[in-house]
Amino acid sequence: MKQILFLLLIIATTCKAQIYPLNTRISDLPLNAYVKDIDGELDKYVGLWKGNWNGKTIYIEMKKVKYNYDEYYKDMILGERKIVNSNGVVEIDRIKSFDYDSPEFKGIFYNFQGEKEFLFSPKNMCKKIASLNITRFTSTQMTLHFEYLPSLYDSSCIHNAYEQQHGDFPINFPKDIILTKQ
């Protein structure tokens, strides 16, 4: 009986030791560790956010999930977007079928300047990735600044002709936007 209690104590201690706070460096994690949002830091980002630009309305649904990185788990914010043009036509709606495996938005990360950001990987854009720097945040508003991250040229990309003609990919996302929590 003492051996069973001792074994249960070791298992409970080991499992508890596998949980680490969000600010833990990845290099310090053992295999299968869980980087957990212990203090609820990510909760303020969760929900539906809405903004307007050039006559369009964007909705971004943010969800907090336990994300699997193969060697460890981490609480993250995942997001998908919906864009409605000024005529009420839905141009993009990824919220309706939220993709937990490959969402357009992932975060929260810190850039080299220590600013919080999301990574934005728009679908069907030839693996282009952008950072969305959070330049201002309150409990009801969030300001995002869009910047492409360096990427390789994809000669088979269906948008190359568009990019050569217009100087940009048809990302359908503003360079700067203020989002209001709904």
Confidence of residue 6 (pLDDT cuts 50, 70, 90): very low
Q: Is residue 21 part of a domain?
A: no
Q: Provide, for the chain, the percentages of residues in helix, strand and coil under a 3-state DSSP scheme, each rounded to the nearest 5.
A: 15, 40, 40
pLDDT given for residue 165 in this prediction: 78
| AA letter at 57 | T
What predicted TM-score, i.e. pTM, was given to this entire model? 0.82
- Report the domain count for the chain: 1
Answer whether residue 85 shows pLDDT above 90. yes
pLDDT given for residue 114 in this prediction: 84
Q: Percentage of residues in the chain with pLDDT exceeding 90?
A: 62
- 44-57 mean pLDDT: 97
Higher-confidence residue of 25 and 48: namely 48
Q: Is residue 118 part of a domain?
A: yes
Q: Which of 67, 75, 134, 73 is nearest to 103 (CA)?
A: 67
Q: Is residue 26 part of a domain?
A: no
Q: Is residue 27 part of a domain?
A: no
Give the structural domain span for 175.
Answer: 40-181
Q: 117: burial class by Cβ within 10 Å (0-12, 13-18, 19+)?
A: buried
Question: What is the distance between the alpha carbons of residues 65 and 136, in angstroms, rounded to a whole number?
Answer: 23
Answer whether residue 136 shows pLDDT above 60. yes
Q: Is residue 128 part of a domain?
A: yes
pLDDT given for residue 1 in this prediction: 57
Higher-confidence residue of 73 and 4: namely 73
Higher-confidence residue of 179 and 163: namely 179
Angle at 78 between CA 116 and CA 61, to 5 degrees: 100
φ/ψ of residue 11, rounded to 5:
-60, -45
Q: Is residue 22 part of a domain?
A: no
pLDDT given for residue 155 in this prediction: 78
Does residue 149 contact residue 129 with C-beta atoms inside 8 Å? yes
pLDDT given for residue 8 in this prediction: 46
Q: Is residue 8 part of a domain?
A: no
Answer whether residue 7 shows pLDDT above 80. no
Range with top average pLDDT, 12-26, 64-78, 115-129: 64-78
Report the mean per-residue pLDDT for the chain: 87
Q: Is residue 11 part of a domain?
A: no
